[in-house]
Chains A and B, each alone.
Chain A
Amino acid sequence: MRFELFQAVVGFSSLGLTLVVLELIRRRRLKDELWLPWLVVTVTPLVMSFWIRPWAALAHWLGIVYEPALLFVLGILLCLALILYLTVVVSSLMRQNLRLAQDVALLHHRLEMLAAAPSQSSRA
C-alpha cells in the first residue's frame, strides 16, 4: 500500500494535536467534560490518515472525486460540532454566572442591612 504525503501530514498533525490534548489532560488544564470532544476531534483524522480504504470508498460513494477532500469535510463538521458543544457549555456558564451575580447583589444588600441595624438600634 502506497503511503501518500497528505496522509503523513494529516497523521503527524493529528498525532501532535492528540499529544497536546493528552498533556493538557495530564496537567488538569482541560476539564473532564471538555477533553472528550477534543480527543474525538484529534483522534478521528489520525485514524483516517492510516486506515484510508474505507474512507476512500465513502468518498466515492458520496461522489467526491478527490478523496482527501473527505478529510476536510469531516474536519469542518467535527469543528462545527465542537463549537456547538462549547457554545452549549458557555450558555450554561452564563446562566450560572447570572445567578451568582444576583446572589452577590442580594447578599451584599443583606450585609448592608445587617451592618446598618446595630447602628440604628444604638442610636435609638
Chain B
Amino acid sequence: MGPRTLVVVPAFNEAGNVGRLLAEIRALPDRLDVVVVDDGSPDATAGAAAAGGARVLRLPFNCGIGAAVQTGLRLALEEGYEFAARLDGDGQHDPRALAALLAPLEAGRADFVIGSRYLERQGFQSSAARRAGSRWFSVLLRLACGQHVSDPTSGLWTANRRAAAVLAAHSTSDYPEVDAVLHLARQGCVITEVPVAMRARGAGRSSIDTPRALYYVLKVTIALAAGRLRPVPARRRIE
C-alpha cells in the first residue's frame, strides 16, 4: 500500500478489545497509521489504545459513533492522508480485509469501498432479523438514489479524500452507515463493495438490543426519506 492511509477506529468501552485489534493491524505486512477515537468511554479504552501504539483522539463526552468516525476523518483530511479506513473497535472487523478494501481506491475505480458480509456468505453471519433489516435498507437505498449496496449497515469501509470530505461535513451521530451511503451517492461518489468475512465481537456486548434495533430501523428509514427530499448540496472541492 503505497499511499498513506489512516485507519480510524471508533471505540466506546472497548478496553478489552482494542489492544488485540491494534496488534492485528501492526502485524499486517503494510504499515498503516491508526487513530483510535475514544468516544467518551468511562473505561480504560484510551489507555489501552495508547498502550497498543495508536494515536488517540479523546472526545470529551459520548458523541455517538458517527461523530467519532467523523473526528477521525477530520484528522485524516487535516494531515493530508490519501485514504481513510474505518475498523470498529469491537474486533468484528478483520484488518486483513483492508488490502482488498483499499485496492479499488488505489486503482482509482471507486471513492468509497464497503466491506460486505453478504456478497459471499463467509465468516460470522448476523441474525436473520438483522439481515432482514439490512435488506430493507438496501431496497430503500436503491429507491432513494439508485445505488445498489448489499450490506448498507457495514461499518467496515475505506474512503478516498473526496468521500472522506463528504462524510466529514455530513454529520449523523448514531447509526450513520446507511445515511452516509445515500449522501455519498447523491454527491456523485463512486461506491463499490468487496466481500469480507466478519467475526463475532470479542469482549463485551453489542449495544443494539431489540428496542434499539426497532429504533434503528425507524430512525434510518425516516432519515433516508428526509435525505432524499433534501436538495443535493454543492459538491465540495477537495484539496
Contact = CB atoms under 8 A, between A and B. Distances in A.
Interface string B37-79: 1000000000000000001111111010001001100110010
B106 to A, nearest CB: 27
Interface residues of B, number: 17
B171 A108 contact: no
A95 B171 contact: yes
Given A106-B75, A106-B78, A101 B55 contact: no
Contacts, number: 36
A101 B61 contact: yes
Contact of B60 (A95, A105, A109): A105
B71 A105 contact: yes
Contacts of A8: none
A106 B58 contact: no
B71 to A, nearest CB: 5
A98 interface: yes
Contacts of A105: 37, 57-60, 71
Interface in A50-101: 95, 98, 101
B126 interface: no
A102 interface: yes
Contacts of A20: none
B28 to A, nearest CB: 23
Interface of B: 37, 55-61, 63, 67, 70-71, 74-75, 78, 171, 173
Interface of A: 95, 98, 101-102, 104-106, 108-109
12 contacts: A95-B171, A101-B59, A102-B67, A102-B71, A102-B74, A104-B59, A105-B57, A106-B57, A106-B71, A108-B57, A108-B58, A109-B55
